[in-house]
Chain A
Amino acid sequence: MENNNLKIINQNKTQERANELLNEHFNKIHTRTDKLFGILLIIQWLFAILLALFISPKTWEGTYNQPHIHIWTAIFLGGFIVSFPSFLIYKLPGKPITRHVIAIAQTLTSTLFIHLTGGRIETHFHVFGSLAFLAFYRDWKVLLSGSLVVAIDHFVRGMFWPQSVYGVISIEPWRWLEHAGWVVFEDIFLIISIFQSKKEMHEIAQKQATVEIINKEIEQIVTERTQELKDTQVQLLQASKLSAMGELAAGIAHELTQPLFGIKGFATLLQDKVSKSDTEQNGNLLISQEEILNDLQIILTQTDRMSKLISNVRNFSKNNLTDFSLNNLNKTAEDSFALFSEMLKSKKINTTINLTNEITEIYCNPNQLQQLFINLISNSYDAIEEKRNNNQLFIGEIKLNSNITNDKRFIRLEFYDNGIGMSKKTQEKLFEAFYSTKKNEKGVGLGMSIVSKIINSHNGFINVISTEGIGTTITIQLPLTNQNIKETIKEKVVKG
């Protein structure tokens, strides 16, 4: 049902657009033909004056050869005939009234020629030429206007001035009908051709409208899908982050139990002392003010430690994956490692972080970069665990170093682990989505493809060197400033 309704809506739309296109096309034809006739009418007028000057005095007045009334007829009557259509072509180009007036003027010009040539039968052919030219309008009514003028003219002049139209003094009364008959004969063919050409134009407009509407629909679908894809990518980043969060949850919980135990212990001690003071000392405290303050300070320090950890977790859970600003890269890296600290410690994995202090603020999205670090740490963790499966005594190692490149344009991060490493085949497919070597559904194979996307969005570079069984070094270069990103893009365009 809905589909059918859509079809009908689309059909209506197509029809509307086809009509629009057809109207545009006709308007163009009408205006163009108007202009052609504008030029033709003026040329014909000048030609009529020439005819009057050179031919008509001799033919029409016999032996007399002098400036004659016909020259004035050519100039003034011809001018009169041309003036109306010229005005309309200038004022109302493409309008029906204009082409009808043109048709009348054109056929009147024919009759003027016939008159000036003394009703020569050959000049009558001008009428047929004019009608064919008027067919350019693809409007049969215009032919009607022209033909009617010819018929009336022949009839009237045949009655009162046959020599002017037929070249002889007396004629049969039905002579005008014979001429009109030939005009009708031509009109029939012209009208048929007009209808055929209109039909073809209509079909072409229909096809064009269909193509246009389909294109528009496709464009809209492409825009929609592109947006959906963008949304999905952000969702994917968020989802993979939350999944990493799940893995980290136990470690974070442990991190919280340490200060919590401290708080609980000292609160219990204080409670004990204060309650005992009541019963044993008649309200005098068993504990000095200094001691109380000291213990409370320990409790407060531990709550601060918990707050800091919670705010770190909260930052990581933030959904802001699109805004870029100046941020401390070292802090982002350290916070990411902090989330893993218990997990790494529990697996006896040593971490060494050695970050440059030369430049620390870079233009970036810290949430994306945190995601990047977490994916790398998580991969290293798994690589080390896999190696440990073969050797229980193996001690894992993760190192992160950073430095500024010599040209001062990039910060270089070197991320090393002594885990199981990667085969050549795995390295080739490393950045492909859904490629994973991890067993037991540990990963879906998005980690490194997300890393590569994040580096792209920062206009950075990534390089991976890995030896199977030995370890992996991932080198990442990120542009230092916003200005730097622009320059890099320019360079890429120039080189690309």
Chain B
Amino acid sequence: MTTLNNEISTTSKAGKILLVDDEEIIHLTLNRLLNQEKKYDIDHAYSGKEALEKLNNSYDLIICDVIMAGIDGITILQEVKNKKYKAEVIMLSGFASQKHEMEAKTNNTLYFFHKPIDNITTFKAAVAEAINLATKKE
């Protein structure tokens, strides 16, 4: 995790992201994909519990897995909205049922992506849009 954070340049931050997923490979991949052009400040949480602990108003975007052991993505989403944090939420899932997707949308998730993400360019655009929206709220 520390190695991941070290990769990030502190000079030109394009936005602060909290990445929540219990899969190491998802962190590894998203970290590299998102930092390809822009330099985001990416924070990592490997479980719902860790995400709740880290959650505060400094984040512009939460990218969150839906299904995790213990506290799931929907709970994180609800927490962000309840606490009225500026952060937008993009849900990311591989196993989610229609019910999960509906739940996420009624709780105002900005986008709901299915793993593996078909079009990475679209995903990057969504991330940029989310951060744009969050920064406008300030």
Q: Which residues of A contact B (CB under 8 A)?
A: 250-251, 253-254, 257-266, 268-269, 272, 298, 302, 342, 345-346, 348, 350
CB < 8 Å: which of B26, B67, B72 contacts A262?
A: B26
Residue of B nearest to A273 (CB): B36
Q: Which residues of B contact A (CB under 8 A)?
A: 23, 25-26, 28-30, 32-33, 36, 67-70, 72, 94-95, 114-117, 120
Residues of A within 8 A of B72 (CB): 348
A-B contact pairs, 16 of them (CB 8 A): A253-B94, A254-B67, A254-B94, A254-B115, A258-B115, A261-B25, A261-B26, A261-B94, A262-B25, A262-B28, A262-B29, A266-B29, A342-B67, A345-B68, A345-B69, A348-B69
CB < 8 Å: which of A253, A261, A298, A348 contacts B70?
A: A348
Residues of A within 8 A of B70 (CB): 348, 350
Q: Is there contact, CB below 8 Å, between B33 and A258?
A: no
CB < 8 Å: which of B29, B67, B68 contacts A261?
A: B29
CA A262 – CA B117 in complex, angstroms? 10
Q: Is there contact, CB below 8 Å, between A269 and B32?
A: yes
CB distance from A271 to the nearest CB of B (A): 11
Residues of B within 8 A of A260 (CB): 115-116
CB distance from A392 to the nearest CB of B (A): 12
Residues of B within 8 A of A250 (CB): 95
CB distance from A170 to the nearest CB of B (A): 129
Residues of A within 8 A of B33 (CB): 265, 268-269
Residues of B within 8 A of A261 (CB): 25-26, 29, 94, 115-117
Residues of A within 8 A of B30 (CB): 265
CB < 8 Å: which of A257, A302, A350 contacts B115?
A: A257
Q: Is there contact, CB below 8 Å, between A346 and B32?
A: no
Residues of A within 8 A of B67 (CB): 254, 342, 345-346
CB distance from A332 to the nearest CB of B (A): 23
CA A260 – CA B36 in complex, angstroms? 20
CA A261 – CA B117 in complex, angstroms? 7
CB < 8 Å: which of B25, B32, B36, B68 contacts A258?
A: B25
CB distance from B74 to the nearest CB of A (A): 11
Residue of B nearest to A351 (CB): B69
CB distance from A59 to the nearest CB of B (A): 123
Residue of B nearest to A305 (CB): B25
CA A437 – CA B26 in complex, angstroms? 40
Q: Is there contact, CB below 8 Å, between B28 and A298?
A: yes
CB distance from B31 to the nearest CB of A (A): 10
Residue of A nearest to B66 (CB): A346
Q: Is there contact, CB below 8 Å, between A265 and B120?
A: yes
CA A422 – CA B30 in complex, angstroms? 46
Residue of B nearest to A266 (CB): B29
Q: Is there contact, CB below 8 Å, between B26 and A258?
A: yes
CA A250 – CA B114 in complex, angstroms? 13
